A and B are shown apart, each in its own frame.
Chain A
Amino acid sequence: MGIIKTSKLIFEYIRRDEDGNVEGITRAIDNVDLDIQQGDFIAILGHNGSGKSTLAKHINAILYPTEGTVWVDGKDTSVEENIWDIRQKAGMVFQNPDNQIIGQLVEEDVGFGPENMGVPTKEIRERVEESLKAVGMYEYRKHSPNRLSGGQKQRISIAGVIAMHPKCIIMDEPTAMLDPNGRKEVIRAARALHEVEGVTIVLITHYMEEAVFADRIIVMDEGRIEMQGTPKEIFSQVEKLKELRLDVPQVTLLAHELKKSGLKLPDGILTIDEFLYELERITGKQNTPGKMGIL
């Protein structure tokens, strides 16, 4: 069993009018089977209301299944005794950087989680230090969080999660409110955690360029998993993604359009390097492959 597994997961909520009368039932998650392995980097895409955040909240035991089961590290999320364990194993980072920071100083904020877990003071210090170093914010440890930029705040939030030594971090649109620099910082931190520390990352995003780094992409629609595959497989299907209110990176779209105009380009080009290499190949100016730096 993977670190995160769901079986026939269904989540329904009851809609009520202003007086509390039942108006109907909405099925936000509809029969989702998911198996995420330890060390995976998964990106979840989907339009607003497709159910991706609702799914994420199940992994962190913020929501419980109406039907079906969710296991985190082998533990059933609907069993109450498991909750604290699950929340420590699967940490969550939310969209708004201003809503998840509580400490007066950066290091206090990051130490909050382990302190609540009853970690001895000396070890808290060590954990805070290593977590802040992992996201490149160690030099800000004595700063007040409210003077930091959005990207820096999000990295503090991530450090706060890492300090609890999770096996998995779920990021629910962590870059939605950030400027391009802040977005880069956060994605870089996420990738480093994945590559260096082997932490499982589940990244929910509306930015297609950020999903390019994932091992696997899951596309949600109407509460179901609509597509699943490597970035190359997913982004090859430009028209289908557009139907699902999504998009592809500009370089992928440009290659797709050129292919439609008759150029012999492959589907699912994801990076500028790859695009240039392919374009060079068909313009007949083939140099030694090494020069273009093939991926």
Chain B
Amino acid sequence: MAILLNHVSYVYQAGTEMAVTALNDINLKIPDGQFIGLIGHTGSGKSTLVQHLNGLLRPTKGALYYDGEEYYSQGFDLKRLRSKVGLVFQYPEHQLFEADVFSDVCFGPTNLGLDRKEVELRAYTALKQVGIEDEYFYQSPFELSGGQKRRVAIAGVLAMKPDVLILDEPTAGLDPKGRDEILDQIKALQKESGITVILVSHSMEDVAKYVERIIVMNKGGVLFDDIPQKVFHEYEKLEEIGLAAPQITYIMNRINKELLPVSTEVKTIEEAKNEILRAMRLQHD
């Protein structure tokens, strides 16, 4: 179910001396099933944007559409929207509160007014989707490791069966392995269920391997919106606004400039390796 943003602007404390424009004339289309990275430095407007998508903030100007229906129009079901566009906040494990893992995940679907059997089925499926084994179901969520807690929190949102899943910095504070595990899991989930996933992050390096589209926010506007390779190509621009391309982009650009003609449009170490080997073979022939 596509989301459409049409000239969306948002001003915090509008009409006062303290007014700050957080979003400035945003036009975006978020179609079904995409895996999107939403990147920007602190204060670039990415969190404000995300809060618009699931109806936590109402635009000062412009409009949003979910499945063709305008947000806040007459008869628009905001509660349904919030179950369909699931938002996982930063450090979501701070929001766990139930006595055991399973009850925590049941909380959301129970509030949707579903019957017990459906609630439990959804909780079970969601926990499986994030890779939490049965043995943990009746443990206190507070006894789990950081990475596990975070996955339980994500399951809590998945149990609402969202069409769009937004994750705000899902890997913050995790060790490198924990970071890869969570992102691998989300990628698998996205592939299997076909839902749209929006990863909000500071780090291009983290999202490069996973996403098919990167939206770069700066000063409340969309600066770039393209496939990762094309966005990384603008690494000098990215640095100007306090971001950075993955280290691999810098490596390939330097090789290309100083050593060998290589394509600089690579996303992963694997691609870089193959590209360098290819260029070296060519040079030899």
Q: Are A245 and B178 in contact, with the CB atoms below 8 A?
A: yes
Contact B248 A250, beta carbon cutoff 8 Å: yes
Contact of A250 among B42, B146, B173, B247 (CB under 8 A): B247
Interface contact A250-B243, CB-CB below 8 Å: no
Max chain B C-beta neighbours (<10 A), residue from A18, A182, A245: A245
> In whole Å, how far is B166's beta carbon from the nearest beta carbon of chain A?
18
B56 CB-CB contact with A under 8 Å: no
Q: In the complex the two chains form, is A48's CB within 8 Å of B145's CB?
A: yes
Asked whether A246 and B42 contact (CB < 8 A) given A49-B145, A179-B243, A209-B247, the answer is no
- A residues within 8 A CB of B172? 176-177
Q: Which of A176, A247, A280 contacts B176 (CB 8 A)?
A: A247
Q: How many residues in B have their beta carbons less than 8 Å from beta carbons of A? A: 38
Secondary structure at chain B's binding surface: helix, strand, loop or mixed? helix
Interface status of B30 (Cβ within 8 A of chain A):
no
- Which of B184-200 touch A at CB < 8 Å? none
Q: In residues 245-285 of chain B, which contact A (Cβ within 8 Å)?
A: 246-248, 250-251, 254-255, 258-260, 269-270, 272-273, 276-277, 280, 283
Q: Which residues of B (133-162) have their CB < 8 Å from a CB of A?
A: 140, 145-147
When distances are taken between beta carbons in the complex, the residues of chain B under 8 Å from A150 are 42
Asked whether A48 lies within 8 Å of B259 as measured between CB atoms, the reply is no
Number of A-B contacts (CB under 8 A): 104
For the complex, give the distance between the alpha carbons of A49 and B145 in Å. 8
Which residues of the other chain, B, contact A49 by a CB distance below 8 angstroms?
A: 145-146
In the assembled complex, how far is the CB of residue A110 from the closest CB belonging to chain B, in whole angstroms?
Answer: 22
Task: State whether A181 and B173 are in contact (beta carbons under 8 Å apart), knowing that A254-B273, A276-B259 are contacts in the complex.
Answer: no
Chain A residues close to B by CB (< 8 Å): 18, 46-49, 95, 149-150, 173, 176-182, 206, 208-209, 242, 245-247, 249-251, 253-254, 257-258, 261, 263, 272, 275-276, 279-280, 283, 285, 292
12 additional contacts (CB under 8 A) given A180-B203, A181-B242, A254-B269: A46-B175, A48-B174, A176-B172, A177-B173, A179-B243, A206-B175, A242-B177, A250-B248, A261-B273, A275-B251, A276-B255, A279-B255
- B residues contacting A by CB (< 8 A) are 41-43, 140, 145-147, 172-178, 202-203, 205, 242-244, 246-248, 250-251, 254-255, 258-260, 269-270, 272-273, 276-277, 280, 283
What are the nearest 8 A-B pairs in CB distance?
Answer: A245-B177, A247-B176, A181-B242, A47-B175, A250-B247, A179-B202, A179-B41, A180-B244
